[in-house]
Every structure is written in structure tokens, then in C-alpha cells.
Amino acid sequence: MPVSLSEAIRTVLSGSTQPLSPGQIRDQIKTLFPHLYQTEAHRVGIEKGNYQSFDHALLNPIYALVTRSSDFLVDRTVKPMLISLASEEAADEAPEENYESEQGLVYVLGTGLFTSSGMKIVKIGHTTQPLLSRIAQLYTTGTPFQFEELHTWRTRNYTELEQAMHRLFAPFRINRAREFFTEEVLLHVTAVAAIHASIQSARVVA
């Protein structure tokens, strides 16, 4: 059975004596696991304008996977960020995301938690799984309440929409290393998603 992207990333990192950037991981995967590079999904994504190149088509899901899975530790204090393997005890045993999928969900979830000033805390993320599966995955022993769906958008370039929201809503972010924000973002999420949808549906006229 062919090695998955997640397995390939783990293999690359386990063979390195130091953390690697997403670009370094991509370059090693191109050499060690060529079946994961220039795939049919990559070709289609480039033709539809989702990716700029084959390198971009491989880098994008690497970035999305390492920043979302507890299998990996991400050091965002440096640029480019550096990735290393988490301990086995911290590894996430949930099903892997399918980053070959052309579409995914960007979600805003209520957490049932509040800041010290009484503001609601929400989570902004993305998934290629059914939303209920993702919510169940997030409901761990360290989470006192099951998350609640507030907004979802099924879209192409879902990781770009999520990342745009994370950047735009940085003033409302509780912890730069986590995907949690104050409820103030709820005034703006629909507008940002609408702009993304408009861009995705636009056609370039030669």
C-alpha cells in the first residue's frame, strides 16, 4: 500500500536530527516518495487555479497537516516555521485528513468556554472529514464541553480561507499557537467567507 502524506512526513522527520521547515519536508518527499508529487489531484488543482505549481500543490497540504495534527510540534517563533515529531504519548489517533480532497469545510465552533472578561471563545479551523466526526475528535478528556457548530463553509482552497481568517482575526486570537478566538470574530467571519467565495467563483478573462 502506498505511503500516505502523513506517513511520509513522519518518516522524513524521524530521519532528521533537527526540526525541518515545510519546504524542506516537501523537497525530501519529492525525492523519497515521488508518488506523492505531481499527482493527478495536483494537476487538476493547478488547472483550476488552486495551486501555482506542483511544488505549491505539495507544500499546501504539508503545511495544513503539520499545523493541525498533534503528531507534530510546530515552532512558529521562527520563519519559516520549524516542524518536529511529537512524542508518541501526544500523538493524535484520530483518522487522517484527506488533503488530496479538492474541497473541505472551514468551520467556526462554539467551545462553551469564556475568557476571564466573560467573552465567548470560538474555534476556527478546517476539515475534510464530516463536521460531526471532527467535533467528536475534538471532544477529548481535556475539553469540558462538546463543541457546537456556529458557521461552516464548504469551499475550494479551504486552507487558504482558514489561514486568511487566522491572519485577519489575529487581534482577537487568544493564543498565537492555537486556533481559538474571542466572539468578536463572529461579526466578521461571514463577510470574509463571502469574499473568498467570490474570488473562487471569479474567472480570469484573457
CA distance 52 to 193: 21
The contacts found for 54-59 with CB under 8 angstroms, 24 or more apart, are 55/26, 58/26, 58/29, 58/30, 59/22, 59/23, 59/26
Lowest mean pLDDT among 66-75, 164-173, 197-206: 197-206
Kindly list the domain boundaries of the chain, sorted by start residue.
5-90, 103-201
Q: What is the residue whose three cell numbers read 495534527?
A: 69
Q: In the predicted model, what is the mean pLDDT of residues 41-49?
A: 90
pLDDT for 91 = 45
Q: In what order do the strands lie in the sheet with 103-114?
A: 148-156, 103-114, 120-127, 180-182
**165 with 192: CB under 8 angstroms?**
yes
CA dist 107 to 45, 56, 135, 171, Å?
22, 24, 10, 19
Q: Which amino acid is at 206?
A: A
User: Which tops the pLDDT comparison, 161 or 203?
Assistant: 161
Top mean-pLDDT range of 38-52, 64-78, 181-195: 181-195
Which fold, 5-90?
A: Arc Repressor Mutant, subunit A (1.10.10)
Label residue 69 by pLDDT band (50, 70, 90): confident
Over residues 183-196, the pLDDT tens digits come to 999 999 999 999 99
Give the single-character DSSP code of 52. S
For residues 110-134, average pLDDT:
90
What are the φ and ψ backbone dihedral angles of 122, each rounded to 5 degrees? -120, 160
> What per-residue confidence (pLDDT) applies to 90?
42
